[in-house]
């Protein structure tokens, strides 16, 4: 009774064999990578376990701060264009600030240099 089923499956097996042959070297290459990743996962597990209580402690603080974050968002949105506008001015002023600092250092040498 099993013979007709076996006969039906044979062409499928014949079609799949070259695919299996082609995939074998890929599988061989991937195996050491898989082993390495497993080692890393095993190594990281105690760290994850150690961090869990910290995460548990921080969660209520995060929940408590969320309304504050929500409240501050419109202020942040209002300030963003001002920040964008001031950036080129800040960029221009930076070399002047550096120069003034150099002059100040020259005029007031440290006491250790005397």
How would DSSP label each residue in 72-107? HHHHHHHHHHHHHHHHHHHHHHHHHHHHHHHHHHHH
Note the pLDDT of residue 54. 97
What mean pLDDT is reported for the chain? 92
Note the pLDDT of residue 111. 56
Token pair recorded at residue 97: 């600030």
Tens digits of residue pLDDT in 92-109: 999 999 999 999 999 987
| Helix, coil or strand: residue 1 | coil
Tens digits of residue pLDDT in 14-28: 999 999 999 999 999
Note the pLDDT of residue 1. 58
Confidence class for position 49, pLDDT limits 50, 70, 90: very high
Residues 9-38, mean pLDDT to the nearest whole number: 95
* Predicted confidence (pLDDT) at residue 113 exceeds the cutoff of 80: no
In this prediction the pTM is 0.42
Token pair recorded at residue 34: 């898989």
| Helix, coil or strand: residue 113 | helix
Instruction: Quote the CA–CA distance of 30 and 37 in Å, as a whole number.
Output: 11
> Which element (helix H / strand E) includes 28?
helix 2-107
Q: Quick one: DSSP state of residue 112?
A: G
């Amino acid at each position: 009774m099993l013979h007709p089923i076996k006969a039906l499956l044979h062409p499928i097996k014949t079609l799949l064999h070259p695919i299996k042959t082609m995939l074998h070297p890929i599988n061989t290459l991937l195996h050491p990578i898989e082993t390495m990743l497993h080692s890393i996962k095993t190594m990281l597990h105690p760290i994850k376990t150690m961090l869990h209580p910290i995460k548990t402690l921080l969660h209520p603080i995060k929940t408590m701060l969320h309304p504050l974050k929500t409240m501050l968002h419109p202020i942040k949105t209002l300030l963003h264009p001002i920040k964008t506008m001031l950036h080129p001015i800040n960029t221009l002023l930076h070399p002047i600030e550096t120069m003034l600092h150099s002059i100040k250092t020259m005029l007031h040498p440290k006491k250790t240099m005397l």
